[in-house]
């Protein structure tokens, strides 16, 4: 019997991954964009939204409710991913008692193939979670534009949102390509992300005419917090972890993450 020893990409210094070097560096840039978006853009918006809800309802509470809802969003993606992967493993792995198998009959290539399939499936699942999170964020940005009444504020906010959305669209498309999704799936995802801001503008105009300020702010704050937790999960457990721990280009990867953070930090200053 043949005993095959498999090494992961993190342990094999001669393997640099399937993606070209440029894509890996751009993925680090995307990680910096997502990191800055989480901490400098989404988190302050969520905190401000919940603060306004509590002020309007005249509720005084010291407990960090906004942060708790963000954690719920984080755990939601974690639970869904681990549940699906657990079902995949039970379906694909043979129901054999490993303890009763001879040592020489173990072929680790089977385990490697299962791990590779689970890794690819996990990457695709996280890509869709990223799409949902960024689409919700884009929807809420459109809502902010639609709820503005003064023309000067609308033009300034629209310009900031457009620039911000371009960088996020590039980062989202990059992660979709790296997840080895089909071309039709990538195009459909990009189209879905593209229409969210115009849809948000239309909903903002409708909400301004129909719903009360309290209801719209409360719903927006809750959904924005869940989206923030989702983006936190994708940023730290998918993008930055995989790319930073991969072999080689340590300086350039760090530089790309820094450039991504600085880019989004600059846009936050412009949009203020």
Query: For residue 259, what pLDDT band results from cuts at 50, 70 and 90?
Result: very high
36 pLDDT above the threshold of 60: yes
Q: Which of 93-97, 125-129, 202-206 has the lowest mean pLDDT?
A: 93-97
CB 117 within 8 A of CB 92: yes
Confidence band of 68 (pLDDT split at 50, 70, 90): very high
**Mean pLDDT within 131-153:** 71
Which pLDDT band, with edges at 50, 70 and 90, does 152 fall under? low
pLDDT-based confidence at 77, cuts 50/70/90?
Answer: confident
194: Cβ–Cβ under 8 A, 6 or more apart, which residues? 169
Looking from the CA of 257 toward its CB, the CA atoms found within 13 Å total 17
pLDDT for position 96: 44
Sign for the CA dihedral angle at 80, 130, 35, 239 comes to positive
CA angle at 34 for the pair 131 and 10, rounded to the nearest 5°? 95
Structure tokens, 2: 């043949």
8 Å CB contact between 247 and 13: yes
Interatomic CA distance for residues 272 and 45, integer angstroms: 12
**For residue 34, which phi and psi values (nearest 5 degrees)?**
-65, -40
- b/e per residue 234-259 (b: at least 16 CB within 10 A): bbebbbbebbeebeebeeebeebbee
**Does the predicted TM-score (pTM) go above 0.85?**
no
Lowest average pLDDT, out of 40-49, 99-108, 111-120, goes to 99-108
What pLDDT shows up at residue 13?
41
DSSP code per residue over 37-49: IIIIIIHHHHHHH
State yes or no: pLDDT of 23 exceeds 70.
Answer: yes
Q: How far apart are CA 263 and CA 176, in angstroms?
A: 21
Q: Which two tokens stand for residue 73?
A: 């969003």
- pLDDT-based confidence at residue 10 (cuts at 50, 70, 90): very low
């Amino acid at each position: 019997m043949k005993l095959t020893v498999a090494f992961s990409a993190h342990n094999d210094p001669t393997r640099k991954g399937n993606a070209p070097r440029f894509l890996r560096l751009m993925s680090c840039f995307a990680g910096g964009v997502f990191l800055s978006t989480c901490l400098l853009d989404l988190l302050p918006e969520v905190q401000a939204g919940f603060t306004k809800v509590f002020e309007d309802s005249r509720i005084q509470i010291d407990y960090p409710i906004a942060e708790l809802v963000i954690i719920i969003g984080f755990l939601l993606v974690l639970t869904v991913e681990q549940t699906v992967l657990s079902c995949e493993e039970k379906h694909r792995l043979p129901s054999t008692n490993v303890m009763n198998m001879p040592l020489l009959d173990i072929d680790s290539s089977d385990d490697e193939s299962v791990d590779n399939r689970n890794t690819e499936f996990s990457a695709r699942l996280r890509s869709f979670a990223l799409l949902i999170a960024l689409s919700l964020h884009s929807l809420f940005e459109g809502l902010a534009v639609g709820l503005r009444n003064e023309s000067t504020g609308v033009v300034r906010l629209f310009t900031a949102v457009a620039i911000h959305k371009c960088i996020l669209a590039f980062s989202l498309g990059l992660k979709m390509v790296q997840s080895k999704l089909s071309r039709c799936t990538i195009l459909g995802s990009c189209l879905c992300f593209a229409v969210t801001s115009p849809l948000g503008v239309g909903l903002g105009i409708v909400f301004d005419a129909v719903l009360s300020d309290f209801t719209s702010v409360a719903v927006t704050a809750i959904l924005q917090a869940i989206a923030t937790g989702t983006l936190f999960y994708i940023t730290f457990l998918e993008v930055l972890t995989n790319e930073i721990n991969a072999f080689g280009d340590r300086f350039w990867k760090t530089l790309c993450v820094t450039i991504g953070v600085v880019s989004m930090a600059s846009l936050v200053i412009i949009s203020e």
